[in-house]
Amino acid sequence: MKHRGLGSSLLSALVAGAALLSVQTAFAQNDDRPPPLNTASAVKPPATPAAQVGKLTLDNQVKWLRAAQQSGTLEKLSDAQLVALFQSLDPLALPRYFKEGPNGYPSYEFTMSRSERIRGVWPEQPDHMLVRVAHNPLRIYAKWLPDGAHAGQEIIYDESKRSDQTYGHLGGIMNVMPLWTSLTGALARSQSNHSVRDLGTEYVVQQYLSEGRKYTEAGLPRSTQIEVKTIDGVRVVAFTFETPVGQPEFYAKKETLGLDLRHPFFRSIESYDNDGRLFEQIVFENITPKTFDDSTFDPKNKDYQF
């Protein structure tokens, strides 16, 4: 199945500052980070067979998931085994797996495909973006690639310099006019329902955890459909959640999140409104941990077009 799309709206509106701080602290303190994509791991596979994991305590289920993910055991399971495994887990196992983190890297680069419905209109073509992210302080560079919408556009955000503004230029002939713009201003809202700070795998995880807390507080059942899909060549376990209440109490009436089998983050997101319309779609591609120097977030970088 080939998906191209993503809406950054899914990510920031529901992310609390405290939650973000806890994620960043985990980055700094947790040395048990997942290995880069397509890199073999020295973690020992768990001894308990997948069919027996549901009988373990909650703590041991979470430990099993971590070991299975890092050792490569999870991705070796068949589709049927994966569905049976996640159906057997304690409802708190997956949230705990994500909450204990890490669910991203201290600094990393990725490409992403994203679409979102703006003022009721679904885009004819998704954005295809290259994004570089570093934490503490949060710094982001993003470039819109030639095969997507807004091709040639670039932005840089550095919260240590101007926490409420980004520096960037539009694509096409307008790329000779870089300027500072508000994170929540008219220009930013013309392409997205929220700010550039929402880019990254961490925000999707925090969205998932935040929505889960809402289900608990409202005393509502969190109906779940589990299936295995292949999205942009990557096999994921797709969890579909649908609330009986819908918007505005919840972010979406229905959401489908695609869990990466090799790393503790979601690789794809689809969100639907109360009328069943898709209002955002995200696919993360080629996520790679990297170390950046200051030039990565400097408009004077000779590789950029500011």
pLDDT tens track for 240-249:
999 988 999 9
The percent helix, strand, coil of the chain (3-state, each to 5) is: 30, 25, 40
Least Cα distance to 188 among 163, 160, 161, 165 occurs for: 165
The pTM score is: 0.80
How much of the chain exceeds pLDDT 70, in percent?
A: 84
> How confident is the model over 181-198, as a mean pLDDT?
80
pLDDT category of residue 158 using cuts at 50, 70 and 90: very high
CA distance 128 to 101: 27
- Look at residue 101 in the predicted model and tell me its pLDDT: 78
CA distance 281 to 145: 17
CA distance 115 to 122: 8
Q: For the purposes of burial, counting CB atoms within 10 Å of the CB of 127, is it exposed (0-12), middle (13-18) or buried (19 or more)?
A: buried
- Look at residue 183 in the predicted model and tell me its pLDDT: 86
- Summarised one tens digit per residue, pLDDT across range 269-298 is 999 999 999 999 999 998 999 999 999 999
Least Cα distance to 154 among 137, 125, 174, 134 occurs for: 174
Q: Is the pLDDT of residue 26 over 80?
A: no
- Look at residue 173 in the predicted model and tell me its pLDDT: 62
CA distance 118 to 261: 32
User: Across 33-37, 190-194, 257-261, which has the greatest mean pLDDT?
Assistant: 257-261
> How confident is the model over 145-151, as a mean pLDDT?
93
Are 250 and 214 spatial neighbours (Cβ–Cβ below 8 Å)? Answer: yes
Contacts with 189 (C-beta within 8 Å, 6 or more apart), sequence order: none
- Look at residue 249 in the predicted model and tell me its pLDDT: 93
> How confident is the model over 2-18, as a mean pLDDT?
36
Amino acid, single-letter form, for residue 156: I
3 vs 265, more confident: 265
Amino acid, single-letter form, for residue 137: P
- Look at residue 264 in the predicted model and tell me its pLDDT: 83
Are 136 and 24 spatial neighbours (Cβ–Cβ below 8 Å)? Answer: yes
Measure Cα distances from 187 to 16, 61, 191 in Å: 24, 46, 7
The mean predicted confidence, pLDDT, of the chain is 84
Q: Is the pLDDT of residue 20 over 70?
A: no
Q: For the purposes of burial, counting CB atoms within 10 Å of the CB of 263, is it exposed (0-12), middle (13-18) or buried (19 or more)?
A: buried
- Summarised one tens digit per residue, pLDDT across range 32-78 is 444 444 444 578 999 999 999 999 999 999 999 999 999 999 999 99
> How confident is the model over 103-121, as a mean pLDDT?
92
Contacts with 161 (C-beta within 8 Å, 6 or more apart), sequence order: none
Least confident of 17-31, 166-180, 251-265: 17-31
